[in-house]
Amino acid sequence: MNSWPALDRFLQNDPRDAGCGQAMELLHVYAEVAAADPLGAAERYPEVAAHLSACGPCAEDLAGLLAAIRADLTNS
């Protein structure tokens, strides 16, 4: 280990990690489920959850989708 925790997380590959391509294909579905039940989303799509914990850009995309979903729910 070194003093770069983000790099350490990136280098510790989870074998379940779906990768960016598959995560992006499912991200809108994952976000819909996660908006209602974050733990349920991770249980239903463990490969996407593993990827999101390792990939900052994809996690940021999820955060944006969740913000949009929550804003939509608030305005309804």
d(CA 76, CA 54): 33
pTM (two decimals)? 0.79
Q: Tell me: the pLDDT tens digits for 14-59?
A: 778 889 999 999 999 999 999 999 999 999 999 999 999 989 999 9
What is the radius of gyration, based on Cα positions, of the chain? 13
13 versus 75: the higher-pLDDT residue is 75
